[in-house]
Amino acid sequence: MKVLYFAWLRERLNRGEDEFDLPQNVTNVDELIDWISANDEAAELAFADKNLIRAAVDEQLVEHDFNIVGAKTVAFFPPMTGG
């Protein structure tokens, strides 16, 4: 699965994307956040406040309980500030 990071999440992780083989017990966005954080100190800090984390699964904005099994791309980013 491809995982994308944007804005200050990208900066804090010092990378724009990851490619992961996820364990079977990682089935939704929230579990993915926890799994990434557990494996990476920078990620643990960056994802610390989950209220500030927005997610998109296969180019669709979703809540953190959204199922990611079979998804190709998950993107994480802060609240949007365009316009």
Partner 1 sequence: MGNILSPKNAIVVKLQSEIFNPGDESNQFIKQADGGGAAVTFTGLVRSLADNPIKKMTLEHYPALAQKQLENMAQTALERFGLIKVKVIHRYGAMYPNEPIVQVMSLSAHRQAAFDGANFIMDWLKTDAPFWKFEEGENGAEWVAAKTVDDNAKDKWK
Mapped onto helix, strand or coil, the DSSP state of residue 46 is: helix
Task: Enumerate residues 30-69 that contact partner 1 by CB under 8 A.
Answer: 56, 59, 61
4 touching partner 1, by CB under 8 A: yes
Q: Which residue has the tokens 């939704």?
A: 28
CA-based R_g, the chain, Å: 12
Interacting residues of 31 by C-beta distance below 8 A, sequence separation 6+: 25
CB of 43 to partner 1, least distance (A): 18
Q: How many residues lie near partner 1 (CB under 8 A)?
A: 16
**Minimum distance from CB of 11 to partner 1 (Å)?**
8
* Min CB(38)–partner 1 separation in Å: 25
